[in-house]
């Protein structure tokens, strides 16, 4: 992948740079609403079909993806919308189910008249939905993490510009794990595409550090009790690598603690195992001094940027990553920023492409493909990123946090370079 110089921004084929489009958006924001609309070719809203996991194993994520999406759209509309048009979110529940996911995509295109589709998280739903988006020629912006986009499995209409993928994450984590926790690893992961990405790519990454995976323990994502799996962990395991998803994550970590009784291997988890769960919940005391990957740090860090502080307030989350209105309602903070950042990429892409309607969908995709550096800003509060237009995948910093006194304290932040890997596809070579 060709990495641009810091601050360089490649303009899309329309000749309008992303920076120019954003500056224009700021200028438009100073106009009264009627004037902004009068400059647009139509006052009709831009419709974004939001594929949201309201039910099923992704419901906790869906709830916070929804809150983050609504907050981002509020900010965008208060700033003049996109090309002088307001943004309207059309939400449909996919039940965290691949078949329903494809049906939702079809509704966006044929029933609701949406300009694009957006928001999908769970990888098996993305994989089940993206082919239909390609057939319908509906730009499909996913906020997942799976490697399915960058692997070339999908199509030119599917992009992941707001959140990094598992392959880049584990590649950046493995050196820290091997150097600080141990090299003999047992992995516990959900038995579907997302978990398989962890299995495959972390195994490769830890082997590159001179380590080995002693056992792979795959658990059905609908499982509600986990104790029967733990005896499969080899006795000479030095590091237990865990990533779990779904409504039973609290049960998983509690049973893990009960099984080891405070003794056992070092724990390195992806925060997915505790998303929407308070780290200081009763029964989780054994997690003290264990480590977690976080895409964005749930607990406010001493060096938190002004951009992240503003984002945290906009999505209604306090310094512990819980809802301001209900501290018992813990957010999916490590992932949901992807919705915020993706919507701002969509805004920048539409403005750079001069998007007016479905006839400009290809131009929108080309405009996003032409993006390179995404500087840290209110639009990108998680940090600087690099977008690879060929693979449709964004790359960014990763965080490792340690549980200290019931809080997640960041102890390591990777560089973007740590996360890069060779291209596996060139979507720009595919026809529309």
CATH of residue 336's domain is 3.40.50.2300
| E strand intervals along 273-322 | 291-294
Rounded to an integer, what distance in angstroms lies between the CA atom of residue 28 and that of residue 83?
A: 9
Rounded to an integer, what distance in angstroms lies between the CA atom of residue 95 and that of residue 385?
A: 31
402: in domain: no
Same domain (yes/no): 22, 160: yes
**Pairing assessment for the beta strands 291-294 and 399-404 based on DSSP bridges:** antiparallel
374: in domain: yes
Same domain (yes/no): 23, 44: yes
pLDDT at 87 over 70: yes
310: in domain: no
Q: What is the pLDDT of residue 108?
A: 98
Same domain (yes/no): 173, 160: no
Nearest to 142 by CA among 111, 164, 124, 119: 119
**pTM as predicted:** 0.90
Point out the least confidently predicted range of 36-50, 135-149, 381-395.
36-50
Q: What is the pLDDT of residue 42?
A: 64
The number of distinct structural domains making up the chain is 2
Please say which residue of 250, 284, 303 terminates a domain.
303
Give strand pairing partners of 48. 89, 116
Same domain (yes/no): 178, 147: no
365: in domain: yes
Q: What is the pLDDT of residue 118?
A: 98
57: in domain: yes
> What is the tens place of the pLDDT at every residue in 169-218?
999 999 999 999 999 999 999 999 999 999 999 999 999 999 999 999 99
Rounded to an integer, what distance in angstroms lies between the CA atom of residue 53 and that of residue 50?
A: 10
pLDDT at 17 over 90: no
Same domain (yes/no): 296, 353: no
Q: What is the pLDDT of residue 221?
A: 86
Same domain (yes/no): 161, 22: yes
4: in domain: no
Same domain (yes/no): 23, 161: yes
Find the domain containing 211 and state its range. 167-303
Same domain (yes/no): 255, 143: no
Q: What is the pLDDT of residue 219?
A: 96
Same domain (yes/no): 239, 338: no
Same domain (yes/no): 199, 233: yes
Q: How confident is the model at residue 41 (pLDDT cuts 50, 70, 90)?
A: low
200: in domain: yes
Same domain (yes/no): 176, 287: yes
324: in domain: no
Same domain (yes/no): 137, 203: no
Instruction: State the average pLDDT for the chain.
Output: 91
**Average pLDDT rounded to a whole number, residues 364-393:** 98
């Amino acid at each position: 992948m060709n990495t641009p110089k810091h601050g360089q921004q490649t303009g899309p084929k329309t000749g309008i740079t992303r920076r120019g489009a954003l500056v224009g958006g700021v200028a438009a924001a100073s106009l009264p609403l009627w004037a902004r609309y009068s400059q647009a070719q139509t006052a009709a809203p831009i419709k974004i079909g939001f594929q949201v996991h309201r039910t099923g194993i992704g419901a906790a994520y869906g709830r916070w993806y929804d809150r983050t999406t609504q907050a981002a759209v509020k900010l965008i509309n208060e700033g003049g919308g996109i090309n002088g048009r307001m943004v309207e979110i059309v939400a449909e529940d996919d039940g965290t189910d691949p078949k329903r996911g494809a049906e939702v995509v079809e509704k966006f295109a044929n029933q609701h008249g949406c300009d694009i589709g957006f928001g999908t998280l769970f990888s098996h739903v993305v994989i089940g939905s993206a082919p239909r988006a390609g057939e319908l020629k509906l730009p499909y912006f996913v906020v997942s993490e799976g490697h399915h986009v960058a692997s070339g499995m999908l199509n030119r209409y599917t992009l992941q510009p707001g959140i990094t993928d598992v392959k880049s994450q584990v590649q950046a984590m493995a050196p820290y794990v091997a150097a600080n926790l141990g090299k003999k690893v047992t992995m516990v992961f959900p038995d579907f595409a997302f978990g398989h990405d962890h299995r495959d790519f972390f195994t490769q990454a830890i082997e590159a550090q001179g380590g080995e995976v002693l056992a792979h323990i795959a658990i059905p994502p609908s499982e509600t009790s986990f104790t029967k799996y733990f005896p499969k962990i080899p006795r000479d395991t030095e590091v237990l690598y865990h990533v779990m998803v779904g409504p039973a994550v609290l049960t998983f970590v509690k049973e893990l603690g009960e099984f080891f009784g405070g003794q056992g291997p070092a724990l390195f988890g992806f925060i997915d195992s505790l998303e929407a769960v308070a780290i200081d919940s009763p029964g989780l005391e054994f997690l003290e001094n264990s480590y977690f990957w976080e895409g964005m740090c749930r607990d406010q860090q001493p060096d938190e940027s002004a951009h992240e502080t503003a984002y945290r307030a906009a999505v209604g989350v306090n310094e512990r990553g819980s809802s301001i209105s209900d501290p018992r309602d813990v957010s999916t903070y490590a992932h949901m920023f992807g919705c915020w950042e993706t919507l701002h990429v969509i805004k920048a892409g539409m403005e750079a492409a001069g998007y007016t309607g479905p006839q400009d969908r290809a131009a929108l995709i080309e405009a996003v493909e032409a993006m390179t550096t995404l500087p840290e800003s209110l639009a990108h509060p998680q940090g600087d990123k690099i977008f690879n237009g060929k693979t449709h995948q964004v790359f960014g910093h990763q965080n490792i946090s340690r549980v200290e006194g019931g809080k997640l304290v960041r102890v390591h932040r990777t560089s973007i370079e740590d996360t890069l890997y060779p291209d596996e596809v060139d979507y720009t070579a595919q026809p529309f």
